[in-house]
Structure 1
Amino acid sequence: MCEAKTPPPPGTLVVDTGRGGRVAEFRGVAGPYWALRDVRGGVEWEAEPGAVRGADPMERLRAEIARRNARSAEGLL
């Protein structure tokens, strides 16, 4: 049995390796799963904690650009 991972603080950018390396924002814990949401918005999904890792600096930069582009397109910036 693998060791349980400690969830990061809400809002932390993470990578869901179970979804092809999708970068997401950690939202909280949902039973045995972690709730994640795309940085551009949309519906939350649940991920296995063992399939989630912290985003590296380049992934965080790309995610922030995607978030700003999405907000700009919606007229929120």
Structure 2
Amino acid sequence: MSGERFGEDAPELGSFAVDIRDGRVGRVMGRVGLYVQLRASGGGPEWDCPPESVRAAPLGEVLRARVREVNREGRLP
């Protein structure tokens, strides 16, 4: 991605982040209005998260998310 950042502590576009409100991990897809948009690594709809509730995902979470993506890609026709 472009390396664009949302704020001082915000994760970069394309990186994995944690929505600390419920612990979900997603890839940072962009920003709409005041919210950061995240998408689960296994696919699905994006969800909006206030920037103060987004934290960079720890390495272990990033690795699990990447494995889910690779597994999902392997199942596609």
Instruction: Find runs of 4+ consecutive structure 1 residues off by over 3 angstroms.
Output: none
Q: Does 1:10 align with 2:10?
A: no
Q: Could you say which structure has the larger radius of gyration?
A: 1
Q: 1:26-65 to 2 correspondence within 5 Å? A: 26-65=28-67
User: Which structure 2 segments of 5+ residues have no match?
Assistant: 1-5
Q: Does 1:22 align with 2:24?
A: yes
User: 2:3 maps to which residue?
Assistant: none
User: Which structure 1 segments of 5+ residues have no match?
Assistant: none
Q: CA deviation at 1:55?
A: 0.5
TM normalised by structure 1 equals 0.81
